[in-house]
A = this chain, B = another copy of it.
Amino acid sequence: MRIAISTGGGDAPGLNAVIRAVVLSAYHRGWKSYGIQRGYEGLLSFNGVVPLGPAEVRGITHLGGTILGTTNRGNPFRYISRDDQGEAIERDRSDDLVAAFQASGFDALVSIGGDGSLQISHDLWRKGLPVVCVPKTIDNDVSSTQRTFGFDTAVSTATEAIDKLHSTAESHDRVIVVELMGRYAGWIALYSGLSGSADVILLPEIPFDIEKVCGKIRSREEAGRHFSIVVAAEGARPKDGAIELLERRGVGTVDRLGGIASKVARAIEVHTGKETRTLVLGHLQRGGSPTTYDRLLALRFGAAAVRAIAEGAFGTMVGLNGQDITRIPLENVVGRAKFVPLDCDTIRTARDLGICLGD
């Protein structure tokens, strides 16, 4: 058996652990593994394929990034190339890709990726490519798996940042608004906000009322707590009209300030008179050595993907369900996202602790 491994989308701590687990699991079955560099591009050009054995995956479990270098961000169904005049041309090269895959003598593809990659994998599977997917997103918003690797590391990085801001906020009597990843789902903001003892947590799932946020800050002020930490997912949004209302009341430029952190910070300054600062954690959440939780999950996903191949369970994604690794048909995964349920235990815990969720 010859297995190809590709990674797609953004960086996520644990990628190397998945690759190592796939390679070692395959090796101990007597199979061979190959890494596809530069994503599908490397396969289409036939010059981005590298053999991977135990020596190549030695000592990489704890390393961030990916030994395959740049991850795949192309789409074979909408392949972009340049014509003689340098104009971009979009073509469907999915048939070429399937052909290249077969010509390379591969028996299976382990595709590690998020939303976009899962969709592509699903479409390639329908064209006959024997694929098994491993979900990858630090945002934890892929459906059909309770966790994705990289998420625990991102939460740890964000929590550590919030921890550090506490002493500064306190010794300077300030409000600090931290913007975390999460365009559609607020998992990182919720988990790290709770772990980091934030006073306010704003999620895409719960449109916020800026009055509620400022009320929380004021009530802390009255209790002698002259600082506050507000955590906002990048996708957090005010309730209908709230920002416009602010503008009429003089916050004016709030909508042109860039990210949600700047807007919320400006609104807090105007409403409460408190000096307010922002921190946009950005790419820091993607990098670094994976936590042990993520290492283990990534290793389990990688080994499970090879087991799925051994049992011919193509067209599936491996996922975590309680203590078990399950296989989910790709058609049940694609096009869905996993949002924070408004009635989940973690949300309830946040409310019980008196954290303001903006509603």
Chain A residues at the B interface, C-beta cutoff of 8 Å: 10-11, 20-21, 24-25, 27-28, 59, 61-66, 69-71, 146, 152, 155-157, 159-161, 163-173, 176, 191-192, 194-197, 226, 277, 279-280, 282-284, 286-288, 291-293, 295-296, 299-300, 303-304, 306-307, 321-325, 344-346, 348-349, 352-354
Please report the C-alpha to C-alpha distance between residue A176 and residue B324 in the assembled complex, in whole angstroms.
Answer: 32
Please report the C-alpha to C-alpha distance between residue A163 and residue B159 in the assembled complex, in whole angstroms.
Answer: 18
Known: A156-B291, A288-B163. A352 touches B25 (CB 8 A): yes
Nearest B residue (CB) for A293: B293
**Min CB–CB distance A17 → chain B (angstroms):** 8
Known: A170-B69, A292-B152, A296-B191. A279 touches B282 (CB 8 A): yes
4 A-B pairs with least C-beta separation: A164-B287, A65-B167, A64-B167, A303-B352
Please report the C-alpha to C-alpha distance between residue A283 and residue B265 in the assembled complex, in whole angstroms.
Answer: 15
Copies in the complex: 4
Nearest B residue (CB) for A300: B349
**Selected contact of A292 from candidates B155, B170, B353, CB within 8 Å:** B155
Q: Is the CB of B284 within 8 A of A170?
A: no
Q: Is the CB of A195 within 8 A of B70?
A: no
Q: Is the CB of B292 within 8 A of A28?
A: no
**Selected contact of A168 from candidates B171, B287, B307, CB within 8 Å:** B287
Known: A152-B292, A284-B164. A171 touches B354 (CB 8 A): no
Nearest B residue (CB) for A61: B197
Nearest B residue (CB) for A223: B54
Q: Is the CB of B300 within 8 A of A345?
A: yes
